[in-house]
C-alpha cells in the first residue's frame, strides 16, 4: 500500500511539472520539443492597395515567438506583420519560431515586379535625401562649428559620456573634408573626401595601412590614405532606426562599423552612433548637417573688462582647472603684507602632469584687443618648492626639466580645442623673486589686431615637465 501511495505522488508531481513547463503565452518560448521545419508555414500576400506591401502571417499552431527577417535589412517580431519593398527584385523572407526546445527557420521568396517610390515618401527618407524629386541628392558634412559633432562613450551608454569634441576640435585632420550625398531614387550614396580618412592606431592596424599622416596634437590619431568607391548604396531601416552603408563605407572615421543607429534624423541634423569593431567597449557618435548649413558663426568682438579678487563667496570668474591638484583653490593669504594684504587668494597647485593650468573662456564673443589687452595680477612664488630636481618631460622637444620660478599668460582661440596652442600668443615672466608678493603686467597690445582670441590661460612653473609645486596669485584683471 505504501509503495502504491508513493508511486501516485510521484506521478502527480510529474504531471504538475509538465503543466508548469507548458507555454502559457505566445510571447514566451514554448517548452515543447524542437519543432520540425515541415510543421511550420507562413503566407505572404500582397495588399490590395499596394502590391509592394506584403502581409506576412504565421499559419502554424505550434506556440512560440515569431520573428521575421524581411530580406531588405529589416527585422520585426509578431505573428502578423507588414513588409514594404520600394524596389523591384526578389527577396528571401526568413521566419523564425523560437521555443524553449530551440529555434527553427523557414524561408520563402517574394518577387516585386516594379519600383514603388511612394513607399520612400516618409519623414526619415525625405529628411535624409531631400525627397524623391531631389535627383541631385542631399549632401551632409560634420557639424564642425558646434560642440558634440564627434564624441566617444561606452558601448552600452545612451550618451557620449567620455568625451565630446569642441567646435573645430579636429581642424588639421581629414574629418571635416568628408562629404556624403544621399539620393532617394536608387538609394544611392556618393562619398567624397580629400583622399584620406581619419582613425586612431587601432583603426589603422585593422585596415593594414602603414602610410599615415599624424594629426596635429598627436594622441595616436592619424589621417590614412583612403579613396572611396565611385558609388555606394544605403539601407534605411525606419523600424529599427538604423542606416547601413554598403560595401563597408563609413562616415569618414574608421571604426570597422558600417551600420549606425540613428539618434536623430531631421531636415537639419543627422545624429548617429556606432559600436566600434576595432575597440571593444567603445561607441562613437557623429553629428552631421547639410553642407550648405555648415557656416562658421559670426562671433562679435567685445571689449569686456574682467576682475577678480577672490574675496567674495561667489567668484565673478570661475577658472577652469586642468590637471590641477586636490587642494581648495581659494586659500588664506600666505603672506598678508604689502603689496597684498587681502585675506583670500588663489592657490595654484601644479601637479606632476606635464600641462597643469587654469583658464577662462569668453562666452559668445571674441576679445577686442584694441582696447582691452593687458592682464595684471599679483603673484607669490614660494621658496619651499623644489626648483632643482630634474623631472620627467613630455618629449625631447621640452628643453627645461625642472620647476621654474615663472608664470606665463596665454591668449588662445578656444574653438580649436586641443589644438589651441598652435595659434596662441603668450607673455612670460621668468626668474621671479621668491617669498614676496609681486605685481605683474602681461601686455598683449602687440597682437591687438587679432580677432580670433577668446581664452586666457595661466600657467605657473613652466610646462612639459612633471615637477609639482605650489604658487599663489591675487587681484587678477584683464583690462586696458
What's the mean pLDDT in 371-375?
97
* Residue 6 pLDDT exceeds 90: no
pLDDT band at 135 (very low <50, low <70, confident <90, very high): very high
Confidence of residue 218 (pLDDT cuts 50, 70, 90): very low
pLDDT average, residue stretch 285-291: 98
What is the pLDDT at residue 419? 75
Domain spans of the chain, in order of start: 22-115, 121-293, 301-479
Burial per residue of 150-177, b for 16 or more beta-carbon CB atoms within 10 angstroms, e otherwise: bbbbeeeeeebeeebbbbbbbbebbbbb
Tell me, what's the pLDDT at 115?
87
pLDDT for the residue 32: 59
> For all residues of the chain together, what is the average pLDDT?
89
Phi and psi (nearest 5°) for 244? Answer: -115, 125
Give the model's confidence band at 214: pLDDT under 50 very low, under 70 low, under 90 confident, else very high: low
- Residue range 88-111: average pLDDT? 94
Q: What's the predicted TM-score (pTM) here?
A: 0.61
The whole-number pLDDT of residue 352 equals 96
Average pLDDT on 298-303 reads 94
CATH number of 22-115: 2.60.40.10
As a whole number, mean pLDDT of residues 175-189 equals: 94
Closest CA to 284 of 189, 225, 181, 199: 199
321-327: average pLDDT: 93
Is the sign of the CA dihedral 217, 221, 226, 231 positive or negative? negative
The whole-number pLDDT of residue 76 equals: 84
The whole-angstrom separation of Cα 231 and Cα 228 is 8
Lowest mean pLDDT among 69-78, 120-129, 185-194, 445-454: 69-78
Please provide residue 203's backbone torsions phi and psi, each rounded to the nearest 5 degrees. -65, -40
The whole-number pLDDT of residue 103 equals: 93
Position 3 pLDDT exceeds 60: no
Higher-scoring residue by pLDDT: 3, 52? 52
Mean pLDDT confidence for 142-146:
94
Residue 220 pLDDT: 58
Q: What is the pLDDT of residues 49-84, one digit of tens each?
A: 899 999 999 999 899 999 999 988 777 889 999 898
pLDDT of residue 389 exceeding 80: yes
* Rounded Cα–Cα distance for residues 439 and 473 (Å): 10
301-479 is classed CATH 3.40.1280.10: no
Q: How confident is the model at residue 367 (pLDDT cuts 50, 70, 90)?
A: very high
- In degrees, rounded to 5, the angle at the alpha carbon of residue 350 between the alpha carbons of residues 396 and 413 is 70
- The arithmetic mean of pLDDT across residues 355-373, rounded, is 96
- Percentage with pLDDT > 90 across the chain: 72
**165, 132 in Cβ contact below 8 A?**
no
CATH architecture of 121-293: Beta Barrel (2.40)
Q: What is the pLDDT of residue 210?
A: 77
According to the model, what pLDDT value does residue 28 have?
41
Amino acid 199: pLDDT: 92
pLDDT attached to residue 298: 87
Work out the average pLDDT over 269-294: 96
Query: Closest Cα partner for 215 from 176, 256, 250, 257?
Result: 176
Is 98 exposed, middle or buried, given 0-12, 13-18 or 19+ CB atoms closer than 10 A? middle
Between 305 and 147, whose confidence is greater? 305
- Lowest-pLDDT range of 142-156, 159-173, 205-219: 205-219
Mean pLDDT value across residues 268-285: 96
CA distance 245 to 90: 21
**pLDDT at position 217:** 44
- Which tens digit of pLDDT belongs to each residue from 12-51? 333 333 333 333 444 443 455 788 999 999 999 999 989 9
Q: Do residues 351 and 324 touch, judged by C-beta distance below 8 A?
A: yes
Query: How far is the C-alpha of 254 from the C-alpha of 207, rounded, in Å?
Result: 9
Amino acid at each position: 500500500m505504501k509503495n502504491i501511495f508513493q508511486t501516485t505522488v510521484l506521478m502527480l508531481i510529474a504531471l504538475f511539472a509538465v503543466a508548469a513547463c507548458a507555454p502559457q503565452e505566445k510571447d514566451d518560448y514554448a517548452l515543447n520539443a524542437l519543432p520540425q521545419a515541415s510543421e511550420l508555414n507562413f503566407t505572404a500576400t500582397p495588399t490590395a492597395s499596394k502590391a509592394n506591401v506584403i502581409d506576412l502571417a504565421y499559419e502554424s499552431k505550434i506556440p512560440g515567438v515569431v520573428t521575421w527577417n524581411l530580406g531588405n535589412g529589416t527585422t520585426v517580431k509578431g505573428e502578423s506583420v507588414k513588409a514594404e519593398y520600394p524596389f523591384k527584385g526578389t527577396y528571401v523572407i526568413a521566419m523564425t519560431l523560437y521555443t524553449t526546445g530551440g529555434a527553427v527557420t523557414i524561408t520563402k521568396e517574394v518577387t516585386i515586379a516594379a519600383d514603388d517610390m511612394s513607399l520612400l515618401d516618409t519623414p526619415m527618407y525625405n529628411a535624409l535625401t531631400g525627397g524623391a524629386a531631389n535627383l541631385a541628392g542631399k549632401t551632409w558634412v560634420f557639424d564642425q562649428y558646434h560642440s558634440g559633432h564627434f564624441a566617444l562613450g561606452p558601448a552600452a551608454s545612451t550618451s557620449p559620456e567620455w568625451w565630446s569634441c569642441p567646435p573645430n576640435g579636429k581642424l588639421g585632420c581629414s574629418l571635416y573634408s568628408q562629404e556624403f550625398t544621399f539620393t532617394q531614387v536608387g538609394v544611392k550614396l556618393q562619398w567624397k573626401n580629400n583622399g584620406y580618412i581619419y582613425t586612431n592606431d587601432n583603426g589603422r592596424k585593422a585596415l593594414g595601412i602603414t602610410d599615415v599622416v599624424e594629426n596635429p596634437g598627436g594622441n595616436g590619431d592619424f589621417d590614412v590614405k583612403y579613396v572611396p568607391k565611385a558609388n555606394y548604396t544605403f539601407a534605411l531601416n525606419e523600424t529599427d532606426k538604423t542606416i547601413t552603408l554598403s560595401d563597408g563605407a563609413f562616415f569618414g572615421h574608421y571604426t570597422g562599423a558600417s551600420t549606425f543607429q540613428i539618434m536623430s534624423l531631421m531636415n537639419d541634423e543627422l545624429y548617429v552612433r556606432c559600436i566600434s569593431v576595432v575597440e571593444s567597449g567603445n561607441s562613437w557618435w557623429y553629428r552631421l548637417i547639410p553642407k550648405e548649413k555648415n557656416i562658421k558663426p559670426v562671433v562679435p568682438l567685445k571689449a569686456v573688462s574682467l576682475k577678480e579678487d577672490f574675496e567674495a563667496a561667489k567668484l565673478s570668474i570661475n577658472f577652469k582647472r586642468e590637471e590641477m591638484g586636490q587642494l581648495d583653490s581659494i586659500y588664506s593669504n600666505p603672506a598678508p603684507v604689502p603689496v597684498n594684504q587681502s585675506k583670500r587668494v588663489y592657490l595654484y597647485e601644479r601637479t606632476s602632469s606635464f600641462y597643469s593650468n587654469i583658464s577662462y573662456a569668453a562666452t559668445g564673443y571674441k576679445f577686442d584687443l584694441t582696447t582691452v589687452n593687458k592682464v595684471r595680477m599679483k603673484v607669490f612664488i614660494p621658496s619651499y618648492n623644489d626648483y632643482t630636481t630634474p623631472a620627467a618631460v613630455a618629449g625631447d622637444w621640452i628643453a627645461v626639466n625642472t620647476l621654474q620660478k615663472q608664470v606665463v599668460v596665454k591668449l588662445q582661440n578656444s574653438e580649436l580645442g586641443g589644438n589651441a596652442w598652435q595659434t596662441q600668443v603668450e607673455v612670460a615672466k621668468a626668474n621671479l623673486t621668491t617669498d614676496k608678493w609681486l605685481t605683474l603686467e602681461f601686455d598683449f597690445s602687440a597682437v591687438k589686431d587679432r580677432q580670433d582670441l577668446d581664452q586666457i590661460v595661466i600657467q605657473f612653473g613652466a610646462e612639459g615637465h612633471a615637477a609639482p609645486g605650489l604658487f599663489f596669485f591675487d587681484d587678477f584683471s584683464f583690462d586696458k
